[in-house]
Amino acid sequence: MADLAAAILITRPANVAIAGLSILLAAGLVRPFVFSTNVVCAILAGMLITAGANVINDVYDLAIDRINKPGRILPAGRMSSAQAKRYAIFLFACGVIFSIFASLFGAVIAFATSLLLIAYSRWFKRQPVIGNLAVSLATALSFIFGALAAGEGAVALEHANLPFGTMRPAPEPCPWLLACGRRNSSPRQRSSSWRESFGFPT
Question: What domains sit in the chain, N to C, each tagged with a CATH number?
Answer: 4-159 (1.10.357.140), 171-202 (no CATH)
Q: With 60 as the cut, is the pLDDT of residue 176 above it? A: no
Q: Span 54-60, mean pLDDT?
A: 94
> Please, what sign has the CA dihedral across residues 113, 119, 122, 127?
negative
pLDDT band at residue 31 using 50, 70 and 90 as cut-offs? confident
Q: With 90 as the cut, is the pLDDT of residue 166 above it? A: no
Percent of the chain past pLDDT 70, that is, above it, reads: 72
Predicted pLDDT of residue 194:
44
How many other CB atoms are found less than 10 A from the CB of residue 201? Answer: 5
Residues 112 and 115: their CA atoms lie apart, in Å, by 5
Lowest mean pLDDT among 116-125, 163-172, 192-201: 163-172
How would you classify residue 3: left for phi > 0, otherwise alpha for psi between -120 and 50, otherwise beta? Answer: beta
Lowest mean pLDDT among 77-91, 120-134, 152-166, 186-200: 152-166
Predicted pLDDT of residue 156:
41
User: What's the pLDDT tens digit per position in 2-15?
Assistant: 588 999 999 999 99
How would you classify residue 58: left for phi > 0, otherwise alpha for psi between -120 and 50, otherwise beta? Answer: alpha
Predicted pLDDT of residue 169:
40
pTM for this model (two decimals)? 0.71
Q: Which of 164, 165, 12 is nearest to 74 (CA)?
A: 12
Q: Are 86 and 55 in contact (CB under 8 A)?
A: no
Instruction: For the chain, give the mean pLDDT.
Output: 77
